[in-house]
């Protein structure tokens, strides 16, 4: 009896041990799924259900079912909305709920909750909409929020914003009449080829966030479209290659306190003109200006008249230029670019994998194909990501060399954002190398040359006392910590992630 008991005990222990190991993994999976998709952990009931499923050998099936349920939940729709608000640099719903400090006014809450953009963002997850809808959707749910229209006096509500396209909204917008609509909302749909509307970027909230002026010429809006949809961040900095920094700086930020507002505006226009005439500046303006033109007729609300422009950017050494009849065609043109697909894959990767796992070029290409295969549908692509091995992998600890290299690359990325499309008269093809791909310039010699240039430009020898870069006109400054980081990194031979020196110290 005793041996049998022993065997029984051993078997039981083995089973328990095995079950326990699996159970721990699956509970962690459930927790991660719930946290990432819904923003909170699973309920006690769900844990109990998982336990039962595991007992019956249905653990994997259960997790799959739960994934579908979570993706169909309001919490997921809300979380995707918050992700999109963060991506677009809008005030997030989480902030409005007081989770990030500060308490919103009633006006703020109403404005942020009841508008076409918030609705579209929420629908992306709720309806498993195609991600392209952010750029090509022609259907909107409009809200006649009164307070947004008149109390704050800032921008117009959805009805006022769209009233030029849908004339009967005019009398309901609050702009023309005190008699606001009794409607809570109105669903509108434009034809599929309407050149005037383009998903998220032709909403009141987007245009109110990224305002324009006669001087700015919608470049701010264009820059945001490039950043969000093509992962092309542009800085407003004016690089210092022709020794005109001081001249431009004085024009941009006049010191004379006695100047009138009009004088300052005139100075700013001169600065803009000087800025626009420089080849360095053209590196960004050849992209921003043609796209900005598509917003030309819609400075404060959406115009019924489309404004032609173009999608223009660099692909390697080639200029891609797609003429468009209006914002609507612009949105469609962007969705047809491979850069758009890989950029959106990057956003999703960052949201669902975090920074623990780097996305290699090969994986990006593979996932881009998957993105297309599922019709670019939001939840369908998320499901693909959730099945990637990295999703349930624990992040490994990074080595000191990796951390240091990552910090240096993060800093050099800021330089790269400005220099990437500029003309480099010292190179054969006129381009600057990617500072975040080492060795910079592709060889040890080039790496050495570039680290010397960086060192001089940042005046590392004097702890950054008189730097040429970033230029005085740039919106950012190098901190002493960053100076020390770059200085010690170059002094140590600019080691890469493996700790291997890329130049002789």
Partner 1 sequence: MAGAQTNQRFKVLKSAEPTGTVIVMSFEDGREARYLQRRSQMRWSAMQMDLTETLCVSSQAAARCELTLPLVVADGLFIWTKHPEASRLGQEVMYLPGGGQPKQHLVEQQGVHFVSIEEQQRLGSRTLAGLKGRLSCDKFEWLTNVPNVPGRVLPTALSVASWSGETNTSTLETNVAENQAVNGGFDVQLSILNGNTYQIDNATYYTAFAGSPALVSQGPATLVTHDKQGELCQTTFNMSLGKTTQIINELREEIKNVTPVQGPFPIDILTRIEFSMKGIATNAESATFAGAFE
CB of 431 to partner 1, least distance (A): 30
Question: Smallest distance from the beta carbon of 186 to partner 1, in angstroms?
Answer: 17
| Min separation Cβ 336 and partner 1, Å | 24
**Residue range at the interface with partner 1 (CB under 8 A); choices 147-155, 314-322, 423-431, 447-455:** 147-155
> Computed over its alpha carbons, how large is the radius of gyration of the chain?
27
Give residues 50-109 in contact with partner 1 (rule: CB under 8 A).
90-91, 107-108
Output the DSSP codes for 218-272: THHHHHHHHHHHH----------SSS-HHHHHHHHS---TT--HHHHHHHHHHHH
Going by C-alpha positions, the residue among 198, 127, 131, 79 that lies closest to residue 341 is 131
Please select the residue that binds partner 1; options are 83, 112, 219, 376, rule is CB under 8 A.
Answer: 112
The pattern of x and - marking residues 155 through 194 that bind partner 1 according to CB under 8 A reads xx---x--xx--x--x--xxxxxxxx--------------
Cβ neighbours, 10 Å, residue 463 = 12
469 interacts with partner 1 by CB under 8 A:
no
CA distance 249 to 193: 44
Binding mask 281-310 for partner 1 (x = CB under 8 A): ------------x--xxxxxx-xxx-xx--
228 touching partner 1, by CB under 8 A: no
Q: How many CB atoms lie within 10 A of CB 5?
A: 9
Question: Which span sits near partner 1 by CB under 8 A: 12-20, 62-70, 152-160, 229-237?
Answer: 152-160
Smallest distance from the beta carbon of 496 to partner 1, in angstroms? 39
Distances, alpha carbon 254 to alpha carbons 4, 270, 274, 466, 467, in Å: 93, 12, 15, 21, 21
Residues 88 and 188: their CA atoms lie apart, in Å, by 23
Q: Are 226 and 314 in contact (CB under 8 A)?
A: no
Cβ at position 148, least distance to partner 1 in Å? 8
| Minimum distance from residue 59 beta carbon to partner 1 (Å) | 45
Nearer to partner 1, 38 or 293 (CB): 293
Task: Indicate the burial class of 435 (C-beta count within 10 angstroms; 0-12, 13-18, 19 or more).
Answer: buried
What one-character DSSP code corresponds to residue 148?
I
Residues that bind partner 1 (CB under 8 A): 90-91, 107-108, 111-112, 146-148, 150-156, 160, 163-164, 167, 170, 173-180, 205, 208-209, 211-215, 217, 262, 265-266, 269, 293, 296-301, 303-305, 307-308
């Amino acid at each position: 009896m005793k041996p049998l008991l022993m065997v029984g005990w051993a078997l039981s222990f083995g089973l328990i041990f095995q079950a326990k190991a699996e159970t721990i993994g699956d509970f962690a999976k459930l927790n991660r799924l719930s946290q990432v998709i819904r923003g909170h952990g699973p309920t006690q009931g769900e844990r109990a259900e998982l336990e039962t499923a595991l007992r019956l050998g249905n653990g994997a099936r259960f997790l799959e079912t739960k994934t579908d349920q979570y993706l169909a939940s309001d919490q997921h729709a809300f979380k995707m909305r918050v992700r999109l608000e963060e991506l677009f640099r809008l005030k997030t719903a989480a902030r409005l709920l007081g989770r990030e400090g500060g308490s919103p006014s009633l006006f703020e809450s109403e404005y942020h909750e009841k508008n076409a953009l918030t609705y579209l963002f929420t629908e992306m997850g709720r309806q498993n909409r195609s991600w392209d809808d952010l750029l090509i959707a022609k259907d909107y749910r409009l809200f006649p929020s009164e307070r947004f229209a008149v109390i704050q006096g800032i921008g117009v509500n959805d009805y006022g914003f769209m009233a030029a396209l849908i004339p009967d909204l005019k009398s309901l917008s609050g702009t023309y009449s005190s008699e606001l609509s009794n409607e809570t909302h109105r669903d509108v749909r434009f034809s599929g080829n309407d050149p005037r509307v383009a998903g998220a970027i032709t909403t009141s909230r987007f245009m109110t966030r990224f305002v324009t002026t006669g001087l700015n010429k919608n470049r701010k809006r264009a820059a945001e479209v490039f950043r969000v949809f093509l992962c092309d961040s542009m800085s407003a900095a004016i690089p210092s290659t022709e020794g005109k920094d001081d001249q431009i700086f004085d024009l941009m930020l006049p010191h004379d306190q006695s100047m009138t507002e009009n004088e300052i505006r005139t100075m700013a226009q001169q600065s803009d003109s000087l800025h626009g005439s420089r080849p360095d500046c053209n590196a960004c303006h050849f992209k921003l200006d043609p796209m900005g033109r598509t917003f030309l007729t819609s400075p404060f609300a959406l115009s019924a008249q489309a404004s032609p422009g173009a999608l223009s950017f660099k692909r390697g050494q080639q200029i891609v230029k797609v003429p468009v009849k209006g914002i609507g065609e612009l949105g469609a043109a962007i969705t047809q670019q491979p850069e758009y697909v890989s950029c959106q894959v990057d956003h999703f990767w960052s949201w669902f994998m975090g920074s623990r796992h780097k996305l290699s070029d090969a994986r990006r290409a593979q996932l881009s194909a998957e993105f297309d295969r599922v019709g670019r549908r939001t939840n369908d692509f998320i499901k693909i990501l959730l099945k990637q091995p990295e999703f349930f992998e624990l992040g490994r600890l990074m080595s000191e060399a990796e951390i240091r290299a990552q910090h240096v690359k993060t800093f050099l990325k800021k330089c790269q954002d400005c220099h990437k499309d500029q003309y480099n008269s010292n190179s054969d093809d006129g381009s600057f190398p990617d500072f975040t791909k080492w060795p910079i310039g592709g060889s040890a010699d080039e790496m050495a040359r570039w680290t010397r240039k960086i060192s001089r430009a940042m005046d590392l020898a004097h702890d950054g006392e008189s730097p040429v870069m970033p230029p005085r006109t740039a919106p950012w400054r190098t901190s002493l910590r960053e100076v020390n980081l770059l200085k010690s990194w170059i002094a140590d031979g600019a080691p890469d992630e493996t700790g291997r020196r890329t130049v002789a110290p």
